[in-house]
A and B are shown apart, each in its own frame.
Chain A
Amino acid sequence: MHEPGQKLNGSEIFFESLRRENVDCIFGYPGGALLKVYETLHDVKDIKHVLVRHEQGATHMAEGYARATGRPGVVLVTSGPGATNTVTGITNAYMDSTPMVVFTGQVPSTLIGNDAFQEADIVGITRPITKHNFLVKDVRELALTIRKAFYLATTGRPGPVLVDMPKDVLAAECVFEWPESVDIRGFKPTVKCHANQVSKAAKMIAKAKRPLFYIGGGVITAGATEALFRIAVEQQIPITMTLQGLGAFPGDHPLSMGMLGMHGTFWANQAVNNCDLLIAVGARFDDRVTGKIETFATQAKKIHNDIDPTNVDKNVKVDLPVVGDARDFLESILLELPKAKEDHSAWLAEIEAWRKQCPMDYTVEPDSLKTEFVIDEVSKQTKGHAVIVTDVGQHQMWTAQYYKFTEPRSIITSGGLGTMGFGLPATIGAAFGVTDRPVITICGDGGFMMNIQELVTAVYHKLPIKIFLMNNSYLGMVRQWQELFHKEKYSFTDLEASNPDFVRVAEAFGCRAMSADNPEAARKAIAEALAYNDGPMLVDFRVVRRDMVFPMVPAGASISDMLLARLNPKTMV
């Protein structure tokens, strides 16, 4: 480490600042505006640099790393196209509240605005998709700006922050001074919940006859899962989770209702519409959760705890808003709740009856393979302890339905933005952060192709990731909507004639690969992949082509109107 007071150039200050932020891993790609940084990087031994093959891959890796570890993901890319290629990944992190700091090279400050070679106004471009961003105009501001960027990315509701660094700033010298504290007068998130609101919430919970927890990703971000477990078990309150909330409460526990919403369980959605108190924690009443707003949980009083005040009363008007950190909220509630609990057994029995009425199940036939079976089998063989990274589409929803997540930071998925191509790079990022649990991609053939180049990154670093490709040679979710709602016009969703042989493609990248097209072969392939840790392994699961995800709430319908199976499309409009 350099001593305080020493004169350094911008690139040295950059790495020195990353050290102070305890960064151990960055995902990057060099380029003209960053030559000075890569010159310095050549002799940096204590920060691992992962060379990606496309800057979008770097952002998804950083997100996978951040979601798996809870630490901010760091991206380093050059100006112009390097910077613009990060836009999708930054938006994804913004929508899913993932802490991330993206460093972009920029043309020399004297050339900014002149349409210089590889110039893009990345600060302007990313203003609406970052929590905040900075252009560093003076090397003396660099260390403080980096300090602020990490502080903003990780404080309050996390999110991506971008720092644009012109080439001349990275070469200029100044005395390195690391600011020990940071104060941003326009950024003071409310972490501690208001005591009166907490007391009111505790009273409402103690009185409720049919309470239900609606848990989002904020509970995992806040590290509030232990407090949640204690309240739920002590008070016998059932729990339903959003896609990002899965893992906040053990999926195999009798109080877990699984996921709610569009592809949630029938009983979770019934519970939402029949509860008398809905306790939303770290969730944001997204349209995929609520369905038709007017009919959502109409019998319930609603408590909403979120650290971001803009989430409160945005989509659904609530009876008791509590702004603050989810952990503070749940731990405070725990202290206030009476030991003698209400008897909820009738309520739990009612939910159990809905569960029996429409259970989650699928059929197994010896000579055809269903995605549901594969995911169920992965869940069983890993005992729900793996880190599962999904792409976007049918396999993603089946993963949410059939994988029994038992601990937090176990599902890493693109929820808000729904970014195809997220899965493989996010898995790679997660594997750099987590080494004591298997890290598995569950993806479709469409999304896999969108960032397939990152296979090189996985192979080069010998990452023991398992790539489970649910290959139906269709853009399955779009195809499902075409079948159900668009007159069975299968426009441009059939990939069978154009898909490559994924086993051979993977092998050409140097990745071990095999395929499976029946339950027995699939079971063996999963076991083999889980036992293989010398590098990545891909299994091409040749699943049935026209399977659909049920149950399903059609877009804009009430969540009480779930489709439980294929209906005649003519009667469904």
Chain B
Amino acid sequence: MKHIISVLVENKFGTLNRVAAMFSARGFNLESISIGETEDPEISRMTIVTRGEDRIISQVLKQLNRLVDTIKVTDLTHQPHVERELLLMSLKMSKTTQHEIFELTNVFKGKVVDIKQKSITIEVIGSPDKINTAIDLFRPFGIRELARSGAVAIHRGDN
């Protein structure tokens, strides 16, 4: 099944490479990986989305922990958490489709970030599932370009 893993790592060059290389060397699935600095500039947070049966996920967590540059590894999958992904998508647009695109963007609580004569760029924020649905529904208009951030996630609550 799908797992979302949050990893605090040393904010050093090569750390992302160490993690990504470990996934490929051990044949683990890596659906998305995103990384950014935390409130402490020496520490970055990595959010990893992976798939596998329990035995594999247990190895993934242990192998992540084994890397010297990882400080804390948390499998958020079965804990209360918030998960978000950013989608930026440029679509083909004409007079006849313009209105429909606006409406659909509103349905997804998205925003128009750029508009030209024949194209429109929108942003949508949500869970990776919501992003998948959005892409499916916008696809008929003609996708010119698309970029996804990969998921970021954080614990919900006081813990």
Contact = CB atoms under 8 A, between A and B. Distances in A.
Given A310-B62, A310-B63, A313-B58, A127 B68 contact: no
B17 A127 contact: yes
Contacts, number: 38
Interface string B49-71: 00000010011001101111111
Interface string A147-170: 000001000000000000000000
Contacts of B125: none
A186 B14 contact: no
A310 B58 CA distance: 9
A132 B69 CA distance: 9
A186 B70 contact: yes
Nearest to B10: A186
Given A185-B71, A186-B10, A128 B58 contact: no
Contacts of A127: 14, 17-18, 21
Main SS of the interface on chain B?
Answer: helix
B68 A132 contact: yes
A231 B18 CA distance: 41
Contacts of B18: 127
B71 to A, nearest CB: 5
Interface in B1-50: 9-10, 14, 17-18, 21-22, 25
B17 to A, nearest CB: 7
A124 B17 CA distance: 9
Contacts of B21: 127-128
Given A128-B22, A128-B25, A132-B68, A309 B10 contact: no
Contacts of B9: 186
Given A127-B18, A128-B21, A128-B25, A310 B70 contact: no
A185 B63 CA distance: 16
Given A123-B14, A127-B14, A127-B18, A186 B69 contact: yes
Nearest to B43: A185
Nearest to A131: B68
Contacts of B70: 186
A314 interface: yes
B67 A186 contact: yes
B65 A309 contact: yes
A492 interface: no
B135 to A, nearest CB: 34
A137 to B, nearest CB: 9
Contacts of B22: 128
Contacts of A185: 71
Contacts of A186: 9-10, 67-71
Contacts of B14: 123-124, 127
A313 B71 contact: no
Contacts of B25: 128
Contact of B62 (A123, A131, A309): A309
25 contacts: A124-B14, A124-B17, A127-B14, A127-B21, A128-B22, A128-B25, A131-B68, A132-B68, A132-B69, A152-B68, A184-B68, A185-B71, A186-B9, A186-B67, A186-B69, A186-B70, A308-B66, A309-B62, A309-B66, A310-B62, A310-B66, A312-B62, A313-B59, A314-B59, A317-B55
* For the complex of A and B, 7 pairs with smallest distance between CB atoms: A132-B68, A310-B62, A186-B71, A187-B68, A309-B62, A128-B25, A186-B68
Interface of B: 9-10, 14, 17-18, 21-22, 25, 55, 58-59, 62-63, 65-71
Given A128-B25, A132-B68, 6 more contacts: A124-B14, A131-B68, A308-B66, A310-B63, A313-B55, A317-B55
